[in-house]
């Protein structure tokens, strides 16, 4: 049974590659994607492992006595209680934290004006509304999305419009002002984008760059407007590409905004500092909120740096039936 949930927003600062293994298409190493929609995603296990690594590292570098987790006593036990024991002891008990898949929210696309647009769709926003409700967070907007395939809903303050058109990559959309788009932009600015002065430019520009596209158009861009990079390995003696060592990798571009839902239940092992689901989520928030983490592959070439922001609503108490025990 899940007793409480929070939303985690991830702002991509450097190209992010959460790979799905060897691909059968034109890209040798594609990113992970949802089967039904083709949207990019990151499997929950990758995010959970990243958060666990952050928890393990926190004890080493954090010497601040003002830290809400100080003193760092019985740290290994706390990590096991929250994330579950390591593989050798996986059968001892389950962790108290459940991590959802990372989903797309805003995707940056090259624009004729305004440099780039943040695009989304009604489908994506409807998912966000549903997931936010579980965490006790209200989005507060009533939105239907474009009904025509060649329309893009924008704010009256949009930076992307030229002669009534929004031109993204090689596709032109008729710009249609919608009063709900500024509401969505303000909600994202206040709840999803990272805080801090270094992000003020991005928060302030989201209203001008936000474009809500038809669902088919959004699906097209997230499938074909990702970054594809050629990688090689050089033969040290010949100073040429080693045989068979040329391949391509797919990345989510910088400025992508992602989100995930985190759920917590009451700890299954007694610990005086972890007695409730709120304690569990408080621990995870204390080690990761506002921090930069490395997610996905190619860490040694600076890939996958994301900025985290947690957003908590009112406590959510779920009945066993909603928790999914089948009765």
pLDDT of residue 90: 66
Residues 4 and 64 in one domain: yes
- Picking from 171, 177, 172, the residue whose alpha carbon sits closest to that of residue 153 is 177
pLDDT of residue 186: 96
pLDDT in tens, 166-218: 999 999 999 999 999 999 999 999 999 999 999 999 999 999 999 999 999 99
pLDDT of residue 323: 43
Residues 283 and 205 in one domain: no
Residues 96 and 1 in one domain: yes
Sign, CA torsion 43/9/156/140: positive
Residues 172 and 274 in one domain: no
Structural domain containing residue 91: 1-18+44-100+252-327
pLDDT of residue 144: 86
**Which of 3-7, 21-25, 154-158 shows the lowest mean pLDDT across its residues?**
21-25
**Which of 49-58, 65-74, 107-116, 249-258 shows the lowest mean pLDDT across its residues?**
65-74
Give the total number of structural domains in the chain.
2
Q: For the chain, how big is the Rg over CA atoms in Å?
A: 21
Which residues touch 261 (CB under 8 Å, ≥6 apart)?
5, 6, 7, 8, 100, 131, 134, 135
pLDDT in tens, 17-73: 998 766 656 788 899 999 999 999 999 999 999 999 999 998 888 877 778 787 777
Burial class from Cβ neighbours inside 10 Å (0-12, 13-18, 19+) for residue 83 reads buried
- Domain's final residue, options 172, 200, 218: 218
Residue 114 lies in a domain: yes
Task: Annotate 93-106 with three-state secondary structure.
Answer: CCCCEEECCEEEEE
**Per-residue confidence at 1, pLDDT binned at 50, 70, 90?**
low
pLDDT at 293 over 70: yes
pLDDT at 239 over 90: no
Residue 31 lies in a domain: no
Residues 209 and 265 in one domain: no
CATH number of the domain where residue 302 is located: 3.30.70
Report the chain's mean pLDDT, rounded to a whole number: 89
pLDDT at 327 over 60: no
Residues 60 and 113 in one domain: no
257 neighbors 10 (Cβ within 8 angstroms): yes
Residues 134 and 196 in one domain: yes
Residues 2 and 89 in one domain: yes
């Amino acid at each position: 049974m899940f007793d409480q949930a929070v939303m985690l927003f991830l702002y991509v600062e450097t190209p992010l590659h959460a790979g799905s293994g060897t691909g059968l298409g034109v890209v040798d190493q594609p990113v992970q994607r949802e089967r039904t929609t083709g949207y990019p995603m990151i499997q929950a296990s990758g995010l959970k492992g990243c958060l666990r690594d952050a928890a393990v590292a926190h004890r080493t570098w954090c010497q601040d006595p003002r830290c809400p987790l100080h003193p760092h006593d019985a740290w290994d036990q706390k990590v096991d209680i929250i994330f579950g024991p390591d593989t050798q002891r996986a059968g001892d008990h389950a962790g108290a934290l459940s991590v959802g898949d990372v989903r797309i929210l805003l995707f940056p696309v090259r624009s004729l004006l305004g440099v780039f647009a943040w695009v989304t769709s009604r489908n994506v926003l409807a998912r966000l509304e549903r997931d936010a409700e579980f965490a006790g967070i209200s989005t507060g907007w009533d939105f239907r999305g474009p009904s025509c395939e060649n329309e893009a809903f924008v704010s009256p303050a949009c930076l992307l419009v030229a002669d009534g058109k929004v031109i993204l990559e090689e596709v032109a959309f008729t710009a249609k002002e919608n009063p709900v788009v500024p509401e969505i932009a303000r909600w994202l600015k206040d709840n999803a984008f990272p805080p801090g002065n270094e992000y003020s430019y991005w928060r302030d520009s989201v209203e001008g760059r936000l474009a809500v596209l038809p669902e088919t158009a959004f699906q097209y861009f997230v499938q074909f407007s990702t970054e594809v990079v050629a990688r090689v390995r050089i033969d040290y003696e010949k100073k040429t590409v080693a045989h068979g060592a040329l391949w391509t990798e797919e990345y989510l571009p910088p400025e992508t905004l992602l989100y995930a839902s985190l759920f917590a239940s009451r700890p299954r092992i007694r610990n005086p500092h972890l007695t409730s689901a709120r304690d569990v989520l408080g621990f995870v928030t204390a080690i990761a909120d506002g921090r930069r983490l490395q997610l996905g592959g190619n860490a040694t070439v600076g890939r996958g740096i994301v900025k985290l922001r947690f957003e908590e609503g009112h406590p959510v108490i779920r009945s066993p039936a909603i928790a999914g025990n089948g009765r």
